[in-house]
């Protein structure tokens, strides 16, 4: 009860804060960003905010960017997005999967405002969607992990069991098993995108259960810190986290939204904006890799680079068959590969992932 | 993993998860016992976390870092005191404002320090003794703040129930008019209790940024201040039970992560619910005995004291 009231009040305060930022704007076109975490999380939201700054730097006084951070998914998000739209923002980026329905609801009420929803699958005339094929990065990481693991257990800190996260886990184990058939992935779900303490605890639990490489799909560098102090490997998430784990970080999957945000904002300014769906990977620069750890042997780096280039030029498809689902049924037959529709709705593990996928 | 090897790492993880909760909750307990409800724990913890982190990064002195975190938390609580005790603002609203203020202030203070790692608080490792299986690392292998958290719980318990000053503090919390009429300074005593609570929250925050996850990231408390507040109700305002509650809460959280990693076939959402379910269950059980709550809950909590009344 008490907590519920408080979160409502905090949501109201976030709305009030967005009103304040809106009130001070002048004649420039306003571009708004709604963030799920704090801009200082050093992960997901941090990278989106670098993108916002890139827009501001590239377009200078033609636009004014505003943002509201740490907006809870659900009703709070709807209030914040509606307030931004009512404030006269021309373009609003909502940067978390859970903002999908709130974004669409507000978009119906403000047909003149353009919206861009990250990682969702529902579009309207004034709602675009965009995401990155992070699984391409995870496939490269999986190859490295399969080569580097000694215990043959990869630990994976999961946020929520949505297709985006499940896809990453599956890409990892497919790649790892292609170079080392004995590898398994163990997953610990933490039910949050951002809670350094809990993310670190999950990493500890996974290491205690035998994992010697920690991957994560949560936003803070805490799991890397745990890996560093326990002397196991880890992979950075969203940004280069090597500062937190100079010895442990094998590489990192970097989200780079800068170019996309600048292009979409320019499209608003010159009137060419259309509702579309963007799902880019290595080929568009949306997904990049942090520098490889010096401890990785040269042949493994070569393998990783070959994989990355292969994905980039289209000769390698991470979800090409043959492989089985966890239950033994066929995931993709030899000579075929999963299509984007299947990937976007992925709600099953492939062989090699331990435990059951929470429904 | 074979046998019971997993027990020691699990217990070690539980201890680090519970310690910040113990600090924040035991401090707020004293505040509430004096009749003041300060909902700003989350904000005070964050300011303590960033102060401790910045001090440790700049000076490298962890003792100073923890001390300044306590001072910073205490100062936040002092601001709360001015508003609610001297200016008689509503305690609930002011506490919420204090949290929002703390979130913003700590983000501002820590701006330059996001992404800077710091060495973890050193553990008390006694060669020989810390190597004893199981007991060694658990009892003798912790950092200083873990021991301090136990000392504080014992001290608070002793102070509240075995000293005259503690009796006075509880009297102020139970009936400020009566305490005032026999000559005690209600406002002065409440100021001290509020500031003590803030200082403890500050140390709890410093534990997060120096030992639990040695880094500064915005909002890194992630709701632990609210959990600390809930723990006090869970413990029916008894210091010993605050300790039990914090370890139970930390313990179930860690165990569910281990259960998942071990491949236990239970929906993770159910496992994530467990700590809260346990809290609800205990609340239901203790609520059956109303006299228990009435005996320990401060009667004047949240009520504004007006000396003229």
Mean pLDDT, consecutive 10-residue segments, chain A of 359 residues? Answer: 46 49 59 91 89 94 92 90 95 94 96 94 94 95 97 96 93 97 94 90 94 94 94 93 93 94 95 93 94 96 97 95 93 93 92 86
CA gap B14, B18 in Å, rounded: 6
Tell if the CB–CB gap between A205 and B117 is shorter than 8 Å.
no
Shortest alpha-carbon distance between residue A83 and chain B (Å): 20
Shortest alpha-carbon distance between residue B219 and chain A (Å): 7
Residues within 8 A of B (CB atoms), A 8-47 only: 9-10, 13, 37-42, 46
Identify the residue whose tokens are 């005259």: B164
Tell if the CB–CB gap between A196 and B217 is shorter than 8 Å.
yes
Please list the alpha-helical segments (H only) found in chain B.
7-33, 41-59, 62-81, 91-110, 135-140, 144-162, 164-174, 176-181, 186-207, 224-234, 239-261, 268-287, 290-296
Identify the residue whose tokens are 């003590």: B196
Residue B94 pLDDT class (50, 70, 90 cuts): very high
Supply the pLDDT for residue B120: 78
Supply the pLDDT for residue A112: 94
The 10s digit of each residue's pLDDT in A231-264 is 999 999 988 999 999 999 999 999 999 999 999 9
Identify the residue whose tokens are 């330059």: B112
Report the residue of chain B nearest A12, measured CA to CA: B100
Residue B166 pLDDT class (50, 70, 90 cuts): very high
HSE (side-chain half, CA atoms, 13 Å) at B42: 27
Interface test with B, best of A153, A204, A326, A352 (most B CBs within 10 A): A204
* Interval B251-271 mean pLDDT: 77
CA gap B187, B79 in Å, rounded: 14
The answer to whether A93 and A261 are in contact (CB under 8 A) is: yes
Which range among A143-147, A294-298, B2-6, B109-113 shows the weakest confidence by mean pLDDT?
Answer: B2-6
Please state the ipTM of this predicted complex: 0.83
Report the residue of chain B nearest A358, measured CA to CA: B267
The answer to whether A279 and A136 are in contact (CB under 8 A) is: no
Supply the pLDDT for residue B7: 82
User: How many CB atoms sit inside 10 A of residue B114's CB?
Assistant: 17
Query: Strand, coil or helix: what is A155?
Result: strand
User: How many CB atoms sit inside 10 A of residue A323's CB?
Assistant: 20
Supply the pLDDT for residue B173: 94
Report the residue of chain B nearest A356, measured CA to CA: B265
Give, as one character, the DSSP assignment of residue B37: -
Residue B136 pLDDT class (50, 70, 90 cuts): confident
Interface test with B, best of A201, A228, A231, A352 (most B CBs within 10 A): A201
Tell if the CB–CB gap between B9 and A220 is shorter than 8 Å.
no
Supply the pLDDT for residue B308: 62
pLDDT higher than 60, residue B74: yes
| B124 or B242, which is more confident | B242
pTM of the model: 0.84
The 10s digit of each residue's pLDDT in B20-29 is 999 999 999 9
CA gap A200, A230 in Å, rounded: 11
Tell if the CB–CB gap between B257 and A202 is shorter than 8 Å.
yes
The 10s digit of each residue's pLDDT in A85-141 is 999 999 999 999 899 999 999 999 999 999 999 988 899 999 999 999 999 999 999
CA gap A94, A84 in Å, rounded: 11
| B273 or B112, which is more confident | B112
User: How many CB atoms sit inside 10 A of residue A328's CB?
Assistant: 8
Tell if the CB–CB gap between B257 and A210 is shorter than 8 Å.
no
Beta-carbon contacts below 8 Å between A and B:
137
Please give the structure tokens belonging to residue B73. 């938390």
pLDDT higher than 50, residue B2: no
User: Chain B contacts of A41, Cβ < 8 Å?
Assistant: 217-219
pLDDT higher than 80, residue B237: yes
The answer to whether A106 and A116 are in contact (CB under 8 A) is: no
């Amino acid at each position: 009860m008490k907590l519920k009231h408080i979160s409502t009040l905090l949501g109201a305060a976030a709305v009030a804060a967005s009103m304040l930022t809106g009130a001070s704007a002048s004649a420039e076109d306003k571009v708004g960003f709604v963030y799920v975490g704090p801009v200082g999380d050093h992960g997901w939201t941090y990278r989106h905010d670098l993108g916002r700054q890139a827009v501001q730097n590239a377009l200078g006084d033609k636009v004014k960017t505003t943002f509201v951070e740490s907006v809870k998914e659900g009703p709070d998000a709807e209030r914040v997005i509606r307030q931004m739209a009512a404030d006269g923002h021309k373009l609003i980026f909502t940067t978390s999967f859970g903002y999908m329905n709130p974004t669409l609801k507000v978009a119906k009420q403000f047909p003149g405002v353009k919206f861009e929803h990250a990682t969702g699958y529902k579009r309207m005339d004034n709602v675009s969607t965009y995401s990155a094929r992070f699984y391409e990065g995870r496939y490269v990481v999986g190859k490295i992990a399969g080569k580097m693991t000694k215990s043959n257990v990869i630990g994976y800190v999961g946020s929520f069991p949505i297709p985006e996260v499940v896809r990453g886990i599956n890409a990892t184990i497919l790649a790892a098993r292609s170079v080392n058939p004995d590898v398994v992935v163990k997953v610990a779900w933490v039910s949050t995108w951002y809670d350094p303490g809990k993310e670190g605890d999950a990493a500890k639990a996974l290491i205690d259960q035998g994992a010697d490489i920690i991957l994560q799909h949560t936003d803070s560098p805490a799991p890397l810190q745990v890996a560093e102090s326990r002397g196991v490997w880890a992979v950075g998430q969203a940004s280069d986290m090597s500062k937190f784990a100079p010895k442990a970080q094998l590489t990192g999957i970097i989200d780079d939204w800068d170019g996309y945000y600048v292009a979409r904002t320019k499209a608003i300014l010159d009137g060419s904006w259309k509702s579309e769906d963007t799902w880019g990977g290595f080929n568009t620069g949306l997904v990049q890799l942090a520098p490889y750890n010096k401890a990785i042997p040269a042949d493994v780096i070569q393998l990783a680079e070959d994989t990355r280039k292969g994905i980039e030029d289209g000769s390698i498809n991470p979800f090409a068959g043959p492989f089985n689902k966890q239950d033994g049924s066929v995931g993709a037959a030899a000579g075929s590969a999963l299509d984007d529709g299947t990937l976007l709705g992925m709600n099953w593990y492939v062989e090699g992932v331990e435990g059951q996928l929470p429904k | 993993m074979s046998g019971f090897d997993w027990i020691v790492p699990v217990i070690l993880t539980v201890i680090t998860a519970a310690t910040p909760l113990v600090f924040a909750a035991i401090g707020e307990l004293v505040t509430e016992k004096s009749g003041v409800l300060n909902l700003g724990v989350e904000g005070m913890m964050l300011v303590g976390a960033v102060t401790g982190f910045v001090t440790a990064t700049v000076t490298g002195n962890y003792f100073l870092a923890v001390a300044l975190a306590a001072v910073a938390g205490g100062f936040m609580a002092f601001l709360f005191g001015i508003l609610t005790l001297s200016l008689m603002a509503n305690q609930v609203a002011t506490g919420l404002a204090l949290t929002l203020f703390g979130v913003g202030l700590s983000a501002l203070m820590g701006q330059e320090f996001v992404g800077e790692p710091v060495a973890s608080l050193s553990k008390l490792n006694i060669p020989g003794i810390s190597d004893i299986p199981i007991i060694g690392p658990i009892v003798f292998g912790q950092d200083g703040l873990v021991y301090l958290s136990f000392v504080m719980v014992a001290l608070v318990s002793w102070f509240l129930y075995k000293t005259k000053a503690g009796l006075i503090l509880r009297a102020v919390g139970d009936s400020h008019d009566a305490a005032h009429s026999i000559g005690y300074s209600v406002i002065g005593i409440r100021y001290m209790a509020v500031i003590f609570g803030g200082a403890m929250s500050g140390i709890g925050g410093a534990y997060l940024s120096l030992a639990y996850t040695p880094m500064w990231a915005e909002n890194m408390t992630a709701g632990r201040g609210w959990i600390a507040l809930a723990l006090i109700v869970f413990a029916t305002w008894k210091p010993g039970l605050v300790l039990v509650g914090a370890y139970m809460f930390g313990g179930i959280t860690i165990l569910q992560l281990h259960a998942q990693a071990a491949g236990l076939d239970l929906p993770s959402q159910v496992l994530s619910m467990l700590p809260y379910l346990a809290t609800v269950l205990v609340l239901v059980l203790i609520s059956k005995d109303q006299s228990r709550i009435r005996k320990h809950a401060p009667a004047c909590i949240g009520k504004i004291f007006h000396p003229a009344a």
